[in-house]
Structure 1
Amino acid sequence: MAQICVFDAYGTLFDVAAAARKLAETPSGAAIAETWPALAEDWRRKQLEYSWLRAVTGDYVPFWQVTKDGLDWALAKAGQDDPELREALLALYWELAPYREVPEMLARLKAAGKACAILSNGSPDMLEGAVDSAGIGTYLDAVLSVEAVGIFKPARAVYDMVGARFGCAPEAVLFVSSNGWDAAGAAAYGFQTVWVNRRGEPVDNLPGRPQHVLADLTTIPELA
């Protein structure tokens, strides 16, 4: 059984499509009312691609910059050049909704005596905003940002942060991510790993393979 449960943040605990979806439901978001799913998908894809490329080249910048760069690309692809639309989307990214099962799942883990943490590409201020908005701070023992090591996941230096913080061996950690590449990287590192495969995609063909594949986070306490 794992002693420590570590979660990726964006796409795992927090719904990265929530910003575009929420704005599209308001008069201010009329321009993306019909196209917000594609915009959200492009934004997330470019955000991740830019983090990987920067990890390879060593050109680290805080994740907030990567997030803005990804949005600018997505807006350009959508033919949107409204600065107010851009600013509204960025503001909403600081208060992304958690997936519905997150609070109860974390509460169950804490009731069982498990340490819980976030390990994320996100900048510390971004993560603080998301955690506060979701109201889940009371369940977390640590919020770890890659900013401390200056490189994005899946670099091993990022996963090293868990052992440095908790003084534990990799096999004592249950690592949970909705990103297949992150779950693979964590598995190769030596963590017990869960891939939250919300979209029913194939397992990535990478050296590490997750021990568990779930549709959502509901049954994580049974695995910890």
Structure 2
Amino acid sequence: MPVHVFDAYGTLFDVHAAIARHRETVGPEADRLSDLWRTKQLEYTWTLTLAGRFVDFWALTERALDHALARHPSVDPAVRSRLLDAYRVLDAYADARATLDALKARGERTAILSNGTLRMLAGVVEAAGLGDALDAVLSVEAVRLYKPRPEVYQMVLDTFAVAPRDVVFVSSNRWDVMGAAAFGFRAVWINRAGLPEEYPELAPIRVLRSLAALTG
């Protein structure tokens, strides 16, 4: 039986849910603020890893929000604490629970592999009620590197004592799918937005528009 491993942010959990909850307070810049927050959050992980440095994901999430707010001065900075509180309990996608349940019903093991800290992941998993549907929650904190470094994906093999070909890795982030495919996982891209292909050299085994399609 394969092990199904899921990215957390953007795959099981909606990274734009925090600002969506406070859309009225944020105002007309809400979507642009949310996009920049996410873009800078990821950019920081890549640049720090390339520089041989590690700062935990929560600190980078705060830093990215501060940057996004500074770039959008029309947004009241007092909303910062509410946005961060909302990020701690992001909404799971509507089909996340049913997908995990379907995999567990088939006797398959499931896990999260995420850039998030263990504390962050515990919060979103508990808020979404997904804990009993997961066999493991793995954080890059253990290796102090960010995806797509191969040491991150190696944690799955160390945890489950399987070969790369026995892992189905599911992510909505194409760069993450690329990293998993390069490592030897059977990578699945959840392409909800219908984005164009960027890494044809390292193609996923499947491209789906939803988590539900994984087991449907």
Q: TM-score range by the shorter chain?
A: over 0.9
Number of aligned residues: 216
Matched letter for residue 54 of structure 1: L
Q: CA deviation at 1:221?
A: 2.3
Query: 201-210 vs 64-73, which deviates more?
Result: 201-210
Matched letter for residue 106 of structure 2: A
SS at match of 1:95: coil
Query: 199-208 vs 136-145, which deviates more?
Result: 199-208
Where do 5+ consecutive residues of structure 1 fail to align?
Answer: none
Name the counterpart of 1:192: 186
Name the counterpart of 1:19: 18
* Aligned ranges 1:98-177 → 2 under 5 Å: 98-177=92-171
Q: Runs of at least 4 residues of structure 1 off by over 4 A?
A: 80-83
Whether the aligned pair in 2 keeps the contact of 1:184 and 1:204 (CA below 8 Å) is no
Paired with 1:3 and 1:205, the residues of 2 have a C-alpha distance of: 24
CA deviation string 1:38-82 (max 9, x = no partner): 111110000011111011011101100111111111111111574
Where do 5+ consecutive residues of structure 2 fail to align?
Answer: none
Paired with 1:145 and 1:126, the residues of 2 have a C-alpha distance of: 10
Q: CA deviation at 1:186?
A: 0.3
Matched letter for residue 70 of structure 1: A
Report sequence identity in percent: 47
Name the counterpart of 2:47: 53
Paired with 1:112 and 1:199, the residues of 2 have a C-alpha distance of: 29
Which residue of 9, 23, 34 maps to 1:40? 34
Whether the aligned pair in 2 keeps the contact of 1:184 and 1:206 (CA below 8 Å) is no
What RMSD in Å do the two structures reach over aligned CA positions? 1.3
Paired with 1:8 and 1:164, the residues of 2 have a C-alpha distance of: 17
SS at match of 2:89: coil
Name the counterpart of 1:62: 56
Whether the aligned pair in 1 keeps the contact of 2:27 and 2:75 (CA below 8 Å) is no
Paired with 2:73 and 2:109, the residues of 1 have a C-alpha distance of: 45
Q: CA deviation at 1:84?
A: 2.6
| TM-score, structure 1 as length reference | 0.93
